[in-house]
Amino acid sequence: MSQERKVVLNYEAPEGREGEGFVVHRPFPGPRLSLVDPLLLFDEMGPSDHGPGEAIGTAPHPHRGFETLTYVIAGGIAHRDSFDNQGVVHAGGAQQMTTGAGIVHEEKPSDALLRDGGRMHAIQMWINLPRDQKMMAPGYRDIPAEQIPEIVLGEGALARLVSGEMAGQTSPVQTVVPTRIVDLHLEASASGAVPIPEGWNAMAFVVAGSGRVGNNQTALERGHFALFGNDGETVPASAGEDGMRVLIVSGQPLSEPVSRYGPFVMNEPEEIEQAIRDFQAGKMGAIKPREMA
């Protein structure tokens, strides 16, 4: 019987504003926790409801030194960047961007969400790049919902494999630093367990409903975050009477120094200074103006 991991830290994610003013819930980085190596940032965008023309996003901005993975729960997100990549992802799909040596991008609500209104809800994670790959070529891809593998873990327990490998299934999302990101859907009173590779860090975030996680049966509600200790091979979760949807995120730690400033994450402060100079000099490119209809 596999050993289950224990919750060592849990709290409600603080609320803030990002981009053009949309609501985010960010368990880290913050005063209680700087990162969950190799994850540098975890943002829940929304959930928020919008009328026609009300949804907002982010204006063009630069990045260097990591990957972003955006998982859409409701609504839709449109992406454009300085390498002429563009794409739209709807509920259940994901966007993977390798910022590498530097990229400028914007994230906007999909045309359908802007036109019709509706709910916007997504998760964005920043996943660090190792020192020797910080300056790799930037890239972007979108993965529609139907390409995300689904794994039945038991009665009333369904796992969507957003990234990595599990139970003989392989997600189309493969991050440079290995991760396993599981969107676990539990019906009322159902339970399931997600395996965690040895030595990997692991966390959980409740997207909807409520329940308990870890071998110490820590109670979590919507918007709550939990960090697990490193002893154990699985993260167990059980839902309450209203069911639970919880992201179980794990990754192989880099154990490298982290220096960051706004949208740039490198290893040393002088590398941050160089990133700022490179952006100001236009070396990360620019997004082409939108064509008028």
3-state per-residue secondary structure call for 140-174: EEEECHHHCCEEEEECCEEEEEEECEECCEECCCC
Instruction: State both tokens at 251.
Output: 């990754």
Helix/strand/coil for 229: coil
pLDDT for 140 beyond 80:
yes
293 pLDDT band (50/70/90 cuts)?
Answer: very low
CA distance 146 to 112: 19
Overall pTM surpassing 0.85 (yes/no): yes
pLDDT of residue 292: 40
pLDDT for 104 beyond 90:
yes
CA distance 169 to 191: 20
The DSSP code for 188 is T
Contact between 177 and 254 under an 8 Å Cβ cutoff? The reply is yes
Instruction: State both tokens at 164.
Output: 């990595």
Q: Per DSSP, what are the bridge partners of residue 155? A: none
2 pLDDT band (50/70/90 cuts)?
Answer: low
pLDDT tens string 182-202: 999 999 999 999 999 999 999
Q: How many residues does the chain have?
A: 293
Residues 6+ apart with CB under 8 A from 71: 93, 94, 122, 123, 124, 125, 162, 181, 183, 247
Contact between 39 and 203 under an 8 Å Cβ cutoff? The reply is yes
- As separate numbers, helices (DSSP H) first and strands (DSSP E) second, the chain gives 2, 24
Q: How far is CA 194 from CA 211, 281, 289, in A?
A: 15, 46, 44
Chain centre to alpha carbon of residue 92: 13
Instruction: State both tokens at 272.
Output: 């941050």
The DSSP code for 278 is H
Mean pLDDT of the chain: 95
pLDDT for 93 beyond 90:
yes
Lowest mean pLDDT: which of 16-25, 48-57, 201-210, 212-221?
Answer: 16-25
With a pLDDT cut of 90, the percent of the chain lying above it is 91
* Across 31-50, average pLDDT: 95
Residues 6+ apart with CB under 8 A from 155: 190
Instruction: State both tokens at 25.
Output: 């819930």
Lowest mean pLDDT: which of 42-46, 77-81, 220-224, 288-292?
Answer: 288-292
Contact between 62 and 104 under an 8 Å Cβ cutoff? The reply is yes
CA distance 175 to 67: 8
Domains of the chain: 7-251 (2.60.120.10)
